[in-house]
């Protein structure tokens, strides 16, 4: 919720949310204290564990980083496994499509899945969205931060977007700032200096997302430059649709229609029928969807729009600080 001057009712709602945030804070501190005092114990897994997580709600861009980590370790002769909760069913299917020869374990019981990964001869575990999941001891703890929104209004949920107090970042092994291409140099310097002053021992990497290619529903691939000058519609159910639009407009596309759904949205045939009507009236040349969205869309009847549908594949690029992150990743598998 934005902190702006408002009327009595809005202030009343903010007050209620503030009280709920305080209750949430007490619960978070209780959990943290129980781990610090040994009342709750972390479970040690016999192979290296790398966690990728965040401390805010919304889309920080963890999935492309998880894919990067899996491919990095695989290229070094390791057999990584990714453990994911599978909320919404889209991210686990996306990972399975993108990483066909890498083990993906889905489910709430990550300890059970970690032990299963060990039993199946995996030698590195990547925990997705796991900064708050402390049952498993991790050897390297990566926290992904959105360069644009960062900590929001610095309040805990539900008053703000923080899942934990900012001080919890002290548990991190490395910070990865995403969407750094959306902010200027002044903002980049301010954010990195703030993190360095508070957590001087923790390395920082700056990244951005990069459109890699498009594919149509038949699987045929097209370069990203293909959409330059085209009239496009953008359909997405992701955490940050504005960043997706930013990436596509930077490729020279003209967005004439956007359909932004909530993160992990479960599309229905009515949605497809509405989109089909809208693209006709707007004279859309192509409908751009993310690979994360397409794993759900492809189960519906797309016959009216399949000739216009392009699926975007996204990767991650490092702007700065990659060497420090790589050094940390190597340290957990050395020896």
Q: What's the pLDDT band for 59 if we cut at 50, 70, 90?
A: confident
CA distance 321 to 313: 24
Tell me the average pLDDT across 248-272.
97
Nearest to 104 by CA among 86, 129, 78: 86
In the chain, beta strands by DSSP E: 49-53, 80-84, 103-106, 124-128, 140-146, 174-178, 204-215, 221-222, 231-236, 254-260, 286-290, 309-320
Between strands 231-236 and 221-222, the pairing is: unpaired
CA distance 127 to 82: 6
pLDDT at 88: 63
pLDDT at 81: 98
Residue 192 tokens, joined: 């990195």
Q: Which pLDDT score is estimated for 292?
A: 93
What pLDDT sits at residue 189? 96
Q: Label residue 247 by pLDDT band (50, 70, 90).
A: very high
Do 49-209+317-331 and 210-315 come out as alike in CATH topology?
yes
Quote the percentage of the chain above a pLDDT of 90: 90
CATH 3.40.50 fits 210-315, yes or no: yes
Average of per-residue pLDDT across 234-259: 97
pLDDT of residue 78: 98
Average pLDDT value for the chain: 95
Tokens of 120: 């199946």
Q: Which residue has the tokens 């002044």?
A: 186
- Which tokens in the block code for residue 215? 């594919």
Q: Label residue 283 exposed, middle or buried (CB < 10 Å: 0-12, 13-18, 19+).
A: exposed
Q: What are the extents of the domains in the chain?
A: 49-209+317-331, 210-315
| 77 pLDDT above the threshold of 90 | yes
Question: For residues 288 and 313, is the Cβ–Cβ distance under 8 A?
Answer: no
Q: What is the pLDDT of residues 153-191, one digit of tens each?
A: 999 999 999 999 999 999 999 999 999 999 999 999 999
Query: Using one digit for the tens of pLDDT, what is the confidence trace for 100-121?
Result: 999 999 999 999 999 999 999 9
- List the CATH code of the domain at 49-209+317-331: 3.40.50.300
Cα–Cα distance measured from residue 74 to residue 94, given in angstroms and rounded to the nearest whole number: 18
């Amino acid at each position: 919720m934005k902190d702006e001057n408002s009327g009595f009712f809005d202030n009343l709602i903010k007050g209620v949310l503030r009280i709920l945030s305080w209750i949430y804070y007490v619960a978070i501190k209780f959990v943290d204290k129980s781990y610090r005092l040994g009342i709750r114990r972390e479970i040690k897994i016999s192979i290296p564990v790398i966690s990728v997580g965040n401390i805010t709600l919304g889309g920080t861009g963890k999935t492309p980083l998880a894919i990067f980590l899996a491919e990095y370790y695989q290229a070094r002769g390791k057999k990584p496994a990714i453990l994911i909760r599978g909320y919404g069913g889209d991210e686990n299917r996306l990972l399975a499509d993108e990483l066909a020869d890498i083990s993906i374990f889905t489910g709430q019981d990550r300890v059970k899945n970690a032990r299963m990964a060990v039993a199946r001869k995996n030698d590195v575990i990547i925990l997705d969205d796991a900064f708050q999941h402390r049952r498993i001891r991790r050897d390297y703890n990566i926290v992904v931060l959105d360069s644009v929104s960062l900590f929001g209004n610095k309040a805990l949920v539900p008053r703000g977007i923080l899942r934990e107090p900012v001080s919890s970042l002290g548990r991190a092994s490395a910070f990865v700032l995403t969407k750094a291409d959306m902010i200027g140099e002044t903002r980049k310097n301010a954010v990195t200096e703030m993190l360095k002053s508070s957590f001087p021992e923790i390395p920082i990497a700056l990244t951005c997302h990069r459109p890699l290619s498009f594919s149509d529903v038949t699987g045929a691939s097209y370069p990203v430059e293909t959409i330059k000058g085209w009239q496009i519609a953008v359909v997405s159910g992701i955490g940050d649709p504005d960043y997706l639009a930013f990436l596509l407009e930077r490729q020279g596309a003209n967005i004439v229609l956007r359909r932004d759904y909530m993160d992990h949205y479960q599309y229905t045939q009515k949605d497809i029928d509405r989109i089909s009507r809208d693209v006709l009236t707007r004279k859309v040349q192509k409908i751009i969807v993310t690979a994360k969205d397409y794993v759900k869309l492809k189960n519906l009847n797309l016959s009216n729009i399949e000739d216009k549908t392009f699926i975007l594949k996204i990767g991650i690029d490092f702007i700065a600080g990659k060497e420090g992150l790589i050094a940390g990743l190597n340290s957990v598998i050395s020896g």
